[in-house]
Structure 1
Amino acid sequence: MEGLLSAPTLAALLLASIRAAAWLLMSPPFNSKAIPGAVKSLLALAIALPMTPQLAADLPEITTASMLIAGIEQVIAGVALGFLTSLVFAAVQAAGDLLDIFGGFSLATAFDPLSMAASSVFGKFYNLLCTTLLMVSGGYQFVLLGFTQTYKALPLNGTLSLETLSNLVTGGLADLFVATLQIAGPLIAVLFVADLALGLLSKAAPALNAFSLGFPVKIFLTLGLAGIAIAVLPGVIDGLTDQAVRLMMGLAGA
């Protein structure tokens, strides 16, 4: 009991919980406002508690100043890890947003109370589908496991490399655009060909008023293609999960 309530153990639990809480605030699917703050706090404590005995040996000096500095460093580390994780999974919603723009669904935006921002139809649908697949497939467990490994690669008395963070963010943004185009690119190409065909038809037969048929045709194509694309999303989510874990481990220096 004395070991569990000793000052080093409690300090390690506090610092580890701070990093976990900061990560949960940024990382999907845990950053959703549908998860209450009390649940996130308990989850952060549950993540940090099993790691506490090993982390107690890597504590900085237990003084007010050193603990305050260490707490700020854990917040920065948790936010950076969460941002890299969210950057990876943002590709799915970005693909849905592109599909909304080229399919004409961007006009039907609505206020999303979970993200506190305006959200388009397929962007929100793909985001919810990504969250559902992460939960159902158990991918969130792999993401959690990857985060817990960062405690070993980046101990509580370690320092986050800003140069490594800059390189990973730059590479993560490039991967975001590539993944977005890989998901939505084929669908956008088909919609572009449909627009081109309608344009040629309107030039060949102006009396048909082909552009009046454009909206229903593009809506039909968008719904059909999006339904077909759903079949490949589980494989995409699996690859994005692996990439998120690699980014977290890379930031931690593993």
Structure 2
Amino acid sequence: MDVTLDMAWLQAYLLVLLRTTLFIGIAPPFSNNSFPWRVKGLVAAGLALPFTGRVEIPDGGLGAGALLAAGTAEAATGAVLGVLVMVAFAAVASAGSLIDLASGFQMATVYDPGSMVNGAQFTRLFQHGMIAMMLAAGAHIPLFLGFGTSFDAVALGEFPDMPSAAEAAGAAFTGMFAAAAQIAAPLIAVLFLADIGLGLLTRVAPTLNAFSLGFPLKILVTLAFGGMVFGALPMAVGQLTDSAVELLREVGP
């Protein structure tokens, strides 16, 4: 039995696979090192299949030079899209970092090789909680669908529009800081009020040395009210998913 291989389809699939691999390797949730590269590769290979039919390659395939140029463009496109999503979801870890800084947990900073995040307890808790919530709620599905729109915005073998990508990156960074402040604001406000209370207590009774109680009091307040902030994390993840999808749609001419 003779088996014929469509060279144009194969080249199209490999180019699409290159874009999806870079995207999966950078964008959460699969960018976490807790996922083996075999899993990432299977997800990228499966994601590339439905999108291959949406791109066009001339009959007979591309030459070596054109194929190399197209591969470079696809790698750049996948990396840009992955970075935009990564920055959008970095707001969750940034919110945890703000809480660690305000509560004093920042002194216990540890590097997490899985998420590649250098942070204390709440930073890592929020990061891992975000990944678990994304997978449990299926938030990666809208991201994949948004990624699919990139093939309409940026044709196969073309570089993304750099002014649009830069504008989207600026919006992503601005949104990241705003979202991080909104997530961490309730607990930071409670810790700030605790500091004010300790200051007033010191003014009333200077010999009491109330600030010596500051660190254990902040730990108690953080643990008591931390669940309130963590309980609002699913809603924040949903909003960040919508923001990431919009960013994916903005990259293009």
C-alpha offsets along residues 88-141 of structure 1, whole Å, 9 cap, x if unaligned?
110011000000000011111223121345321100000111111101111111
Change over 3 Å in CA distance of 1:195–1:207 after alignment to 2? same
Q: Is the 8 A contact 2:76 2:159 kept in 1?
A: no
Measure the CA separation in 1 of the matches of 2:240 and 2:133.
12
SS in 2 for 1:55: coil
How far apart are residue 155 of structure 1 and its match?
Answer: 2.1
Aligned-partner residue type, residue 198 of structure 2: L
Change over 3 Å in CA distance of 1:44–1:58 after alignment to 2? farther
How far apart are residue 225 of structure 1 and its match?
Answer: 1.8
Measure the CA separation in 1 of the matches of 2:240 and 2:74.
25
Q: Give 5+ residue unaligned stretches, structure 2.
A: none
Within a 5 Å distance, the mapping from 1:174-253 to structure 2 comes to 174-253=174-253
Change over 3 Å in CA distance of 1:60–1:165 after alignment to 2? farther
Measure the CA separation in 2 of the matches of 1:206 and 1:60.
85
Q: Is the 8 A contact 1:58 1:156 kept in 2?
A: no
RMSD: 2.1
Q: Give 5+ residue unaligned stretches, structure 1.
A: none
Instruction: Give TM-score scaled by structure 2 length.
Output: 0.94
Aligned to 2:134: 134
Aligned-partner residue type, residue 50 of structure 1: P
Instruction: Give TM-score scaled by structure 1 length.
Output: 0.93
Q: Is the 8 A contact 1:93 1:124 kept in 2?
A: yes
How far apart are residue 2 of structure 1 and its match?
Answer: 9.0
Aligned to 1:173: 173
Aligned residues between the structures: 253
Within a 5 Å distance, the mapping from 1:36-47 to structure 2 comes to 36-47=36-47
Aligned to 1:51: 51
Aligned-residue identity in percent: 36
Segments of 4+ in structure 1 off by > 4 A? Answer: 1-4, 57-61
Q: Is the 8 A contact 2:71 2:157 kept in 1?
A: no
Within a 5 Å distance, the mapping from 1:63-212 to structure 2 comes to 63-116=63-116, 118-212=118-212
Q: Is the 8 A contact 2:153 2:249 kept in 1?
A: yes
Change over 3 Å in CA distance of 1:167–1:241 after alignment to 2? same
